[in-house]
Amino acid sequence: MRKICVVVSARASYSRSKTLLSAIKEHSNLQLQLVVMASALLNKFGHVASNIESDGFEITAIVTNCLEAEYRTSAAKTTGLGIIELATIFDHLRPDVVVTIADRFETMSTAIAASYMNIPLAHIQGGEVTGNIDEKVRHAITKLADIHFVATKDARSRVIRLGERPETVHLTGCPSIDLALETLNTAAPVSDPCYLYGGIGLQPDLSNPYLMVLQHSVTSESECAKIQIDSTLEAVRLLGMPTLWFWPNSDPGTCEIAKGIRTFHERNPDLPVHFFKNIPYATFLHLIHQCACLVGNSSTGIREGACLGVPTVNIGSRQSGRERGKNVVDAEPETGSIVTAIKYQLTQSRYTPNFLYGDGHAGVKIAQILAEIPLTFEKKITY
C-alpha cells in the first residue's frame, strides 16, 4: 500500500484537494497522510483545519510556520520554517509520494523538502499562467516535481515545454471542479449564512440579486493593496447591492486590505454588506452559484465560476494570463472600471457552463494514477 502525503497550507489548497483526499482515503491501495500547515491553522484566516476535521479527515501532522503576513520578509521566512519542519515530518512519516497543490508561496516548502529527501513529488495545477508571485512559484515547483496533474490542455503543453517527460504529465482536470459539481448535485442551498457562520456587518437580503467579493493582495503590488481594496469597496458602496465579502489570503499587503475593510465597515454600518473570514466550501460554492456577480481577483471566478456559469469581474493583474471562459470580464483596480464591469455583468443572463478546468472526476483520476504510476525521484530535462 502506497503512503500518499498531501500537504494543505491554505484555504484554497484545501478546496482544491478535498475530492482528492476522499479518493485517496477510499482507495484500497493507498494510505492518506494529511499534513496541515501555515495559514490553514490560523483563526484570522478562518482556521481551515477545523473544516478539514469536520469533513471527516484525520490530520496526521501540523506545521505552525506562518509569520505575520504584512512584512516582505514573512513569505520567505514562512517558507524556510516550513522546509525545516516538513523535513522532520517526512522523515517520520516515510511517505511514498508527497503531493503539493497549486502555487501559493507556502507550497515551495513542500516541494523543496520532498525533493532534497528523495521523495517523489506530485504537483497539482502546474503549467498555468497568472500574475503575482504565484507565477514564479508554480513553474519552480514544476521543475522540482516528478509527477504532474494538470487542469487544461494548454497547461499540459507548457509543462512539457518546460522540459518535463510527457509520460509524467497527466491531464486530469482540477479537483475543485469535482467539488463544485458534486456540491450542486447533492447539497441543499443555504439561506442564512450570516446567522450560521458569523462575521460582521448587516445581514443582506439574499432573495434579491447580490454580489460576492473575494479580493487578495497582489504581492508584486503590495504597496498598492490599500488603494486597490478601497477602490473595490467604493464600487460596492456606489452600487448599494446586498454583498457577501470574504477575507483575503495570507500575503504581503493583506493587513492593508484588512485595514481598508474595517475602516469601510465602521464608516458604512448601514450598508447591506457582510464580511466573513471563512465558511464551509460547499456553502461557499452554493452562494457563488446563486449570486448575481462574483467580484475580485481570486481564481475561483475563473475556475469554479466557469463551470457554474457565474458572471465574474476579475480585477487587476493577479490572474493575468490565466485561461478563462466567457463568464469573465476584466476590470482595472479603479472604482469606475469596477462599477462599469459589474453593471455590464448584471445585464447578462447566466453563462453556459464551461468545463475548461475539468469534468468533475479529477480526484479519482489522480488517486488511481498515484496508485499505479512507477515512482522515481531522478529526472533530467528532456529537450
Is-same-fold flag (2-174+358-372; 183-346)?
yes
Name the CATH code of domain 183-346 (choices 3.40.50.2000, 3.40.50.2300, 3.40.50.880, 3.30.70.2740): 3.40.50.2000
The whole-chain average pLDDT of the chain stands at 94
- Is residue 191 scored above 90 in pLDDT? no
Q: Is the pLDDT of residue 19 over 80?
A: yes
- Which of the four pLDDT bands, split at 50, 70 and 90, describes residue 68? confident
Integer Cα distance of 170 and 364 in angstroms: 13
Task: Give the tens place of pLDDT for each residue, 156-170.
Answer: 999 999 999 999 999
Average pLDDT for 93-117: 97
Q: What tens digit of pLDDT does each residue of 278-304 get?
A: 898 889 999 999 999 999 999 999 999
DSSP label at 179?
A: H
Q: Please, are residues 16 and 176 in contact by the beta-carbon 8 Å criterion?
A: yes
Secondary structure (3-state) at 100: strand
Cβ of 191: how many Cβ atoms within 10 Å?
11
Q: What is the pLDDT of residue 69?
A: 66
Question: On the CB side of 128, how many CA atoms lie within 13 Å of its CA?
Answer: 33
Instruction: Give pLDDT, residue 192.
Output: 84
Average pLDDT on 303-318 reads 96
Number of H helices, E strands in the chain: 15, 14
Give the whole-angstrom CA distance, residue 287 versus residue 293. Answer: 11
- Per domain, the residue ranges of the chain are 2-174+358-372, 183-346
> Residue 183's pLDDT is what?
78
Fold designation for 2-174+358-372: Rossmann fold (3.40.50)
Q: Residue 228 corresponds to which cell in the numbers above?
A: 486597490
Return d(Cα 47, Cα 240) in angstroms, integer: 30
In the block, cell 477575507 appears at 247
CA angle at 87 for the pair 133 and 61, rounded to the nearest 5°: 90
**pLDDT over threshold 70, residue 42:** yes
Is 157 exposed, middle or buried (CB count within 10 Å of its CB: 0-12, 13-18, 19+)? middle
How is the beta sheet containing 121-124 ordered, strand by strand? Answer: 61-63, 30-37, 2-8, 97-101, 121-124, 147-150, 169-171
Tell me the pLDDT tens digit for each residue of 234-266.
Answer: 999 999 999 999 998 888 888 899 999 999 999
